[in-house]
Amino acid sequence: METTGFDMLILLAIIGFFWLLPILVIVSSHRTSGSEKSAWVLAVIFISWFAWIFYLLLAPIKKK
């Protein structure tokens, strides 16, 4: 089975949706407002990227 560009685009869209889902939930929530909502969105964004940086740095340590 060959992977096409369309398959990769669908996969990227699914990953992007799940990455954006917590942000969309916070933005559309009525439980917080104003600067508290902004703080939560920023925390989700920076914690997510922080985790990706650790993944990129630590995942290749195991030799094949």
Its pTM stands at 0.64
Answer for the pair 23, 41: CB distance below 8 angstroms, yes or no. yes
pLDDT at 21: 87
User: pLDDT tens across 6-59, in order?
Assistant: 999 999 999 999 888 888 888 898 887 888 888 888 888 888 767 666 766 776
pLDDT at 56: 66
Please count the residues of the chain: 64
Give residue limits of the domains in the chain: 5-61
Strand residues in the chain grouped as ranges (E) = none
